[in-house]
Amino acid sequence: MRAVLQRVISARVEVEGHIVSQIGPGLLVLVGLLDSDTEKDAEYICRKILNTRIFHNEETGRSWDLNVMQKGYEVLLVSQFTLYGMLKGNKLDFHVAMPPERAKTCYESFVQRVSKAYKSDAVKDGLFGAMMQVHLVNDGPVTIQLDSRKDTTAELNQSGKRSVGGRARCRAIGRDLLKLNVNQFSCRSAGALRAVPVPVCRLQTPRGQFRTEPQLRFSAPSGALGFLPCAFR
């Protein structure tokens, strides 16, 4: 599950010229559902929305000190499956997003979860599946991205049936580079462990020795190039 938090002075959602929901100071949150999302993902995003310290504390003068509940502000949730859009050339593809039939139920359940964790009269939402016009006054501007998965990129590549291959390489950057050793390790490729040569850099500097993480260079069927970190066995 993904969410985009925007600290706002005010926000509202309109459908066909009619105001569906509106809030004063608080958070406008765009919510995207991944096809494989579970209750655990919803719980994580809910907790982060309500507890992220994104507001200024007037009493202490500290920035990034209070969350939306401590301020007593409102939350406006808006469903947005395009948060899981993937580019194939110049064309957008949304195959990893949760299908509309399931997403509607999961989204409504998520809205209820946030309402129960905070207070129902302070949590508003848009109209699922509708063509909405979202108006907001971003305060700052401040925009924060949340993702319930630690390695969404690798998961999306796997769900899109993209195989990881090609040669591995290690890039080491350091002013005091004195020594470079290359060893062999195993890496995770296409959801399974298999032995491939993966360079691991050990850098010897005047302050001591440290090891950098290797990277895999991969080529997707679409021709796009990218890098993924290796997982050691």
Q: Pick from 115, 47, 45: which is nearest to 83 by CA? A: 45
Q: Taking the CA of residue 195 as centre, how many other CA atoms within 13 Å lie in the half-sphere pointing to its CB?
A: 2
Of these residues, 6, 55, 80, 218, which one is catalytic? 80
Active-site residue identified among 81, 110, 215, 218: 81
Known active-site residue 82? yes
Q: Which of 103, 224, 219, 208 is nearest to 166 (CA)?
A: 219
The HSE-up count of residue 147 (CA atoms within 13 Å, CB side) is 11
Q: Which of 38, 70, 82, 143 is catalytic?
A: 82
Q: Where do runs of H (alpha helix) occur along 118-151? A: none
Strand partners, 82: none
Active site residue 185: no
C-alpha span between 215 and 203 (Å, rounded):
16
Residues annotated as catalytic (active site), given as ranges = 80-82
